[in-house]
Structure 1
Amino acid sequence: MSDTSQSSPVVSGSGTDNPLLMPWRTPFQAPPFGEIAPDHFLPAFERAFIDHAAEIAAIAHDPSAPDFANTITALERCGRLLAKVSAVFYNLVSAHSNPALLEIDKDVSSRMARHWNPILMNAVLFGRVAQLHENRATLGLTAEQSRLLERTYTRFHRAGAGLDETAKARMATINERLADLGTTFGHHLLGDEQEWFLELGEDDMDGLPDSFVAAARAAAEERALPGKAIVTTSRSSVETFLKSSRRRDLREKVYKAFTARGDNGNANDNNAAIVEILALREEAARLLGYPAFAAYRLEDSMAKTPEAARGLLERVWTPARARALADRDALQGLIAEEGGNFTLAPWDWRYYAEKLRQIRADFDDAAIKPYLTLEGMIAAAFDCAHRLFGLTFSERKDIPVWHPDVRVFEVKDEAGAHRALFYGDYFARASKRSGAWMTSLRDQQTLDGEIAPLVVNVCNFAKGADGQPALLSPDDARTLFHEFGHGLHGMLSNVTYPSLSGTSVFTDFVELPSQLYEHWQEQPQVLRQFARHYQTGEPPPDDLLERFLAARQFNQGFATVEFVASALMDLEFHSQPAAAIRDVRAFERATMGKIGMPAEIAMRHRPTQFGHIFSGDHYAAGYYSYMWSEVMDADAFGAFEETGDIFDPETARRLHDDIYSSGGSRDPEEAYIAFRGRGPKPEALLRRRGLL
């Protein structure tokens, strides 16, 4: 089934010199990262492609009449080597890349598309799946099997398995080109992020907290600049600098570099890639019978239509924009009071917002940051998981890792049985792409015995220097809990079939477990226990804690506007005719003008750095999902609040059974109602953000 006529080498059957092709004799069969070199990957992928193609051919040409076991279950058992090699490879490409891996990624991305195209468009194979789907009511399937059959049929159908041969050939070409473009987009973004930094002299430190300076020195050390201090384009570095630096000229430099990533007219420019990606996505959607890519993408989601997604965003946009404009006027007034003779600019907003927060709420982030150590917040995340779900975490030093900073924890359930391995890769470095994410090196399943997951959290926090602990901003602490919530979705998964495991759910549902978990991070009883001053070990004084919690809704107009603008931009990109988008900057300006974007606020992700939607398509036409899920998470935490106990055992049991452990084995709306007893109420989101 795969194209085996390409130039990559075919490995021998034994694979005795390639650790990717050998059994892993490490604890829990974890990847032996220390033994894996870049030149192992292409031979391993080649072998995996050949093995998978043979497995698929055996199913498609099985002379027996199709049944669930010989078709759907057989598909679930296919491609295990490919999944194993891919998980290790893409983890390294994202979290610890090097030039050799990035070159291999360019080759593998197109080869992966060429491998999957003939599988997902195989008419004989789809015929077997379609026959089972048509007769599904007579097959005596369990609920999970019914869900798997439905998802398998949908996957083949949406990939174009029902198209004629001419359309299939064109779809295959489109898919291969999109794979190349998505990889190129990501490489360009990483290139701009690696190339830019701002070196700080002693005169450039005015206003910067000691913790930031320590992190800036550690970042310089990471880039082989000992004794220096630098600002990088890591969000943690940029946002802290913009909040703290009294040097307006430097704030402008940092802000412009951050928002110009991928848009500098250099070898890393992403504008042309965006134009081609949008045109190809539209063409693919039309081949499948949809008027636009957004209509295609959202049909297979909770939202169902672009209009539903846009409706939620616009409902939030109106009060958020009004709040942001009021805050803008207050910030301009503050500038005037200080004698400033300039108009508020985007690089000023965070700096003056911190001043305004001190005035209105008697609080700034710098006051709480010494209490938010990375160690303390990891312990808090683990403790909440223990109190909710009975999990325990113990650090293991005998598990191979891809970088010395990576830590591994064995996860056990309430009965003391092994549940998972959890990898935490927390610090920013030049070899890591920006942002924060959860992934897995192996998914949970019970199809052929208990397979325990290997779950990964990757963040980009600033490292402490000279033996000092890493200190997190409130946003960083929320990010840690957010990604750990995704991690719990993977660790607590309890399904039979790998395709339904963990986070294999609709994009606008997958953020519910992560965003819901953020709520525990900001609870007073959690902070009193785990927020400890890095020097004294004391908890925050009650008045500081009260001011911190009271200030949570401050600047929510800004935060909501920058997010919703990005989500609306995403929908516009994928709803408007691609022929109308020849100049990405002009389209961006027009779209922002149409929605009334305040000039003093930038989108959270400008197009040329919007990896969520252009470095692959997982969130394409789906960035709204974070807010769709936030409606549910704000409403879901209310179930605990209504009991008077944020760790209420019965509510936690339902949360475990109906949300975290069920993976994609049931319809998400059904899963939510099973947990909450009703559908979510959107007002909960507006209340949480202080926009009601």
Structure 2
Amino acid sequence: MNNPLLKVFTAPHGSAPFSSIKNEHFKPAFETAIDEAKKEIDKIVENPEPPSFENTVVALEFSANRLNRISSIFFNLNAAETNEEIQKIAQEVSPLLSEFSNDVRLNEALFKKIKSVFLNKDHLNLNPEESMLLEKNYKAFVRNGSNLNEDDKKILRDIDIKKSKLGLKFGENVLAETNAFELLITDQEDLSGLPEGVIEAARMLADEKKKDGWVFTLDYPSYIPFMTYADNRALREKMAKAFGARGMQNNEYDNQQNVLDIVNLRYQRAKLLGYASHAHYVLEERMAEDPDKVQSFLEKLLKKAKPAAKKEFKMLEALAKKDGIDIMQKWDGAYYSEKLKKDMFDLDDEKLKPYFKLENVIDGVFQIAGKLYDLHFEEVSNIDTYHEEVKTYEVKDSKGEFIALFYADFFPRKGKRNGAWMTSYKAQWKEGKTNSRPHISIVCNFTKPTNSKPSLLTFNEVTTLFHEFGHALHGMLANTTFPNLSGTSVYWDFVELPSQILENWCYEKEALELFARHYENKELIPMELVGKIKDSSNFLEGIATLRQLSFAMLDMSYHAHDPASIKNVKEFENDAFRETRLYPDVDINCMSTAFSHIFQGGYSAGYYSYKWAEVLDADAFEAFKEAGIFNKEVASKFKENILSKGGTEKPMVLYKRFRGKEPNVNALLKRAGLLA
């Protein structure tokens, strides 16, 4: 077979040859690349020379390069442009990858060499990055079963294979349930309250599906505006219940048993390795260190946020009562929040959207990256992509040196999961005099252009774009020697700092002036609106914080204890939500069965990271506020100590080097308006 995945990539910057890759290429490519990687491991093990940092640790770090590249291409496609065939291949290759990973981590002879180097580390004169790589490798072996006996190693292998398959199945089920639902409206009166652009998009979707009327789906750009603006409460209820029922309908896509199986397998794995729980296992490699510290952090925020959230909720209830609603339900939250925002600030997203044409916001975030970090972005057409909507950019510095390749994929499709994320198609590393630069991508689900309007973003979509672009900068500006310490390869509760800090620029007049222009007449956003955006930045912050805390607490409830006693996912979830609940429960809905962050993504025992990183970002942004949001000196310190360093040193060491002190939780509470 003439397989493009097994050839040297000769396209510009060695970019992936997407248009040449067919589904049938993937499995043979994985099998060949795994065989190659096994031979590379054998070579390390069979090397007759005494184990050294170079011939063991560095050799292992640069092994399996082709396998890593194929994996990044395949699993990114499975998230952004999947189909039944790709999903079937994922189920077939995931066990092969788990098996290979365990073959490496449970290889006694290889571990013996790593351990020999590790025990001799004080005599090796390693720099901080080399020391971190050695420590990370040694711990990876220990934390993945190298010290287990043979019987327990077999159990571990079995757990890992089952776990990888269950995670994939969980995600496939959520996507299938998301795609399966649609609301067809045929009576124009049922569109009352919806903005013109939302109605036009729904009409276009109906036309695509060859239906008369207006079609709304559970994809965010369709679902969120409907829940925010639709006056028809019964239809809001129908949409909300469909959204909340994903993975919990006792059908072929039901995730209830998958949730129980995943959390039990994670617990069994942690116990096998000598940890009290999955959370104890995970948090050993986090800034937070252990579940007690996370719980204490969450409870401290809960104590501040809950009174504010209850007060805000009463304001929403008072507004709903004017419409004859005695009991606020979940499908009323976004609708009355938007009304309250209009009442309090005379501000609504429909007034803002004309100033946030997608292309202008992209240009704005590029300009901000230029002002802060001397980066220049040029859209190019010579880079192959996996879909015609994907845009590609060459990123260069002020000297014209190539920094990164950047892919951007903005709109919902049937084969793309919901949400927004940053990912990588190729890591950055150094070898000899070569600094091999990264290929970074962001994937979003924004409001599509219609026949009469370009893509106009809600302000929430603007902050989402900035958030994911912050992650992208972390990847693009990577400047480390080793690929597994590069870019976003950092502690999970540190990874959100670069993304969340960039959101702050969305609220600043100096930044908005760069890109917020009316899409028709090019007029700059009125300063009155800028003031309102700033004033509303803390709007319903208590409720928003309580919501994030509820997710983090649910995550820790699943993972910080033995889950064997959990028999009913819905009942367990209700119990976990007791302290954070504002709305009445909906018995046919369940968060857990579609909680992809922790059951498919990498956030298990780590969802608290969003709030943890908010403390870091609030504290870090104060440094910019004090000196000026485009201050080159502060930006340079942030770039050199945070963005370029990846995981080469402990996060707190890097943070203190940037800020001169540890972060203070009061910075977040002050910004959120939760300090008395």
Separation (CA, whole Å) in 2 of partners of 1:132 and 1:82: 26
Cα distance per residue 1:436-484 (max 9 Å; x no partner): 1010110111125221111000001120211521111111111100000
The correspondence for 2:344, drawn from 360, 373, 377, is: 360
Distance in 2 (alpha carbons) for counterparts of 1:378 and 1:361: 27
Alignment CA distance shift 1:172-1:515 (3 Å) = same
C-alpha distance in structure 2 between counterparts of 1:600 and 1:525, whole Å:
42
Say which is worse superposed, 568-577 or 605-614, in terms of deviation: 605-614
Q: Does the 8 Å CA contact 1:412/1:418 hold for their aligned counterparts? A: yes
Q: Determine the structure 2 residue equivalent to 1:207.
A: 193
Aligned to 2:414: 430
Q: 1:557 is matched with which residue?
A: 542
Tell me if structure 2 keeps the 8 A contact 1:120–1:160: yes
The reply to whether residue 629 of structure 1 matches residue 613 of structure 2 is yes
> What CA distance in whole angstroms lies between the structure 1 residues aligned with 2:356 and 2:214?
22
For 1:194 and 1:358, locate their aligned partners in 2 and report how far apart those are by CA, in whole Å: 33
Report the alpha carbon displacement of residue 61 of structure 1 after superposing the two structures with TM: 2.2
Q: 1:457 to 1:605 in 2, by over 3 A?
A: farther
In the alignment, which of 70, 83, 98 is matched to residue 85 of structure 1? 70
Alpha-carbon distance between aligned partners in 2 of 1:605 and 1:661, rounded to the nearest angstrom: 40
Corresponding position of 1:10: none
Which residue of 209, 229, 249 maps to 1:264? 249
- Counterpart CA distance in 1 for 2:203 and 2:45 is 58
Q: Residue 396 in 1 paired to residue 380 in 2? A: yes
Instruction: Tell me by how many angstroms 1:385 deviates.
Output: 0.4
> How big is the shift at 1:397?
0.9
Query: Does residue 579 of structure 1 match 2:559?
Result: no
Shift of 1:606: 1.2
Match for 1:676: what amino acid? R
- The residue number in structure 1 matching 2:634 is 651
For structure 1, the 5+ residue unaligned runs are 1-14
Gapped regions of structure 2 (runs ≥ 5):
none
CA distance in structure 1 between the aligned counterparts of 2:486 and 2:147, rounded to whole angstroms: 27
Corresponding position of 1:406: 390
Task: State the AA in 2 paired with 1:390.
Answer: D
Post-superposition offset of 1:214: 2.8
Rounded Cα–Cα distance in structure 1 between residues aligned with 2:507 and 2:185: 33
Cα-to-partner distance string for 1:568-587 (whole Å, 9 max, x where unaligned) = 00000002221111210110
Report deviation, 1:497.
0.7
Cα distance per residue 1:322-373 (max 9 Å; x no partner): 22211221222112233x1431111001111111112222222222122111
Once the two structures are superposed, the pairs formed by residues 534-683 of structure 1 within 5 Å of their partners are: 534-593=519-578, 595-599=579-583, 606-616=591-601, 618-643=602-627, 645-683=628-666
Cα separation, 2, equivalents of 1:458 and 1:184:
21
Question: CA–CA distance in 2 between the matches of 1:95 and 1:39?
Answer: 18
CA distance in 1, matches of 2:480, 2:211: 49
Instruction: Report deviation, 1:226.
Output: 6.5
How much has 1:145 moved relative to structure 2?
A: 0.6
TM-score using structure 2 length: 0.97
Pairwise CA RMSD of aligned residues? 1.6
For 1:77 and 1:224, the matched residues in 2 are separated by 48
Task: Give the SS at the match of 2:423.
Answer: strand
Aligned partner of residue 432 in structure 1, secondary structure = coil
Secondary structure of residue in 2 paired with 1:685: helix
Given that residues 285 and 296 in structure 1 are in contact (C-alpha distance below 8 angstroms), is that contact kept between their aligned partners in structure 2?
Answer: yes
Structure 2 CA distance for aligned equivalents of residues 205 and 649 of structure 1: 49
Alignment partner, residue 671 of structure 2: 688
Find out whether 1:287 has 2:287 as its counterpart.
Answer: no
Aligned residue for 1:141? 126
* CA contact 2:546–2:580 (8 Å) conserved in 1: no
Distance between the aligned counterparts of 2:410 and 2:204, measured in 1? 14
For 1:362 and 1:240, the matched residues in 2 are separated by: 18
1:455 to 1:602, Cα distance in 2 relative to 1, 3 A: farther
- The verdict on how the C-alpha distance between 1:573 and 1:323 changes in structure 2, with shifts beyond 3 A counting, is same
CA distance in 2 between partners of 1:653 and 1:529 (Å): 21
Q: What are the residue-to-residue correspondences of 1:142-161 with 2, within 5 Å?
A: 142-161=127-146
- How many Å apart are 1:200 and its aligned residue? 2.7
Residue number in structure 2 paired with 1:506: 491
**Counterpart AA for 2:58:** T
* Whole-angstrom distance in 1 between the partners of 2:54 and 2:136: 16
Pick from 470, 475, 478 the counterpart of residue 455 of structure 2.
470
Q: Does 1:345 align with 2:329?
A: yes
Structure 1, 317-326 or 167-176: larger mean CA deviation: 317-326
Judged with a 3 Å threshold, the aligned counterparts in structure 2 of structure 1 residues 161 and 605 are, in CA distance, closer, same or farther, namely: farther
* Paired amino acid for 1:301: R
8 Å contact from structure 2 (residues 547, 580) kept in 1: no
How far residue 225 of structure 1 moved from its aligned partner, in angstroms, is 3.7
Whole-angstrom distance in 2 between the partners of 1:247 and 1:403: 36
Q: 1:232 to 1:148 in 2, by over 3 A?
A: same
Displacement of 1:605:
8.6
Residues 87, 172 of structure 2: 8 Å contact kept? yes
Specify the SS of the correspondent of 2:435.
coil
Counterparts in 2 of 1:95-244, with a 5 A limit? 95-201=80-186, 202-220=188-206, 224-225=209-210, 228-244=213-229
Residues 467, 89 of structure 1: alpha-carbon distance in 2 compared, 3 angstrom cutoff: farther
The 3-state SS of whatever aligns with 2:404 is strand
Between the aligned partners of 2:431 and 2:507, the Cα distance in structure 1 is 39
Question: Shift in Å at residue 227 of structure 1?
Answer: 6.3
C-alpha separation in 2, matches of 1:167 and 1:352: 55
Between the aligned partners of 2:614 and 2:585, the Cα distance in structure 1 is: 22
**Take 1:248 and 1:44, find their aligned partners in 2: how far apart are those partners?**
52
Question: Aligned residue for 2:320?
Answer: 335
CA distance, structure 2, for counterparts of residue 565 and residue 249 of structure 1:
26
CA deviation vs aligned residue, 1:260-286 (integer Å, no higher than 9, x gap): 111111111100001111111111111
Identity percentage of aligned residues: 39
Q: Distance in 1 between matches of 2:325 and 2:611?
A: 38
Contact kept in structure 2, 1:262 and 1:608, CA below 8 Å: yes
**2:410 partner SS:** strand
Deviation of 1:64 after TM superposition, in Å, equals 1.3
Task: Please say if residues 313 and 543 of structure 2, whose CA atoms lie closer than 8 Å, have aligned partners that are also in contact.
Answer: no
SS at match of 1:359: helix
Q: Distance in 2 between matches of 1:407 and 1:602?
A: 41
Letter in 2 for 1:628: W
Letter paired with 1:256 = K
Q: Deviations over 1:221-278 (max 9, x none)?
A: 5x53476532221233222211111010111111111111111111111000011111
For the 8 Å contact 1:217–1:465, the answer to whether it is kept is: no
The 5-angstrom pairing of residues 450-465 of structure 1 reads 450-465=435-450
- How many residue pairs get aligned? The number is 672
2:20 maps to a residue whose letter is E
Q: Do the aligned residues in 2 keep the contact of 1:236 with 1:476 (CA within 8 Å)?
A: no
After superposition, the Cα gap between the structure-2 partners of 1:304 and 1:290, relative to the gap in structure 1 and judged at 3 Å, is same
With structure 1 as the length reference, what TM-score do the two structures score? 0.95
Instruction: Give the Cα separation in 1 of the matches to 2:211 and 2:509.
Output: 40
Letter in 2 for 1:393: F
Q: Deviations over 1:56-78 (max 9, x none)?
A: 11112222110011001101120
Q: Structure 1 CA distance, aligned partners of 2:391 and 2:399?
A: 24
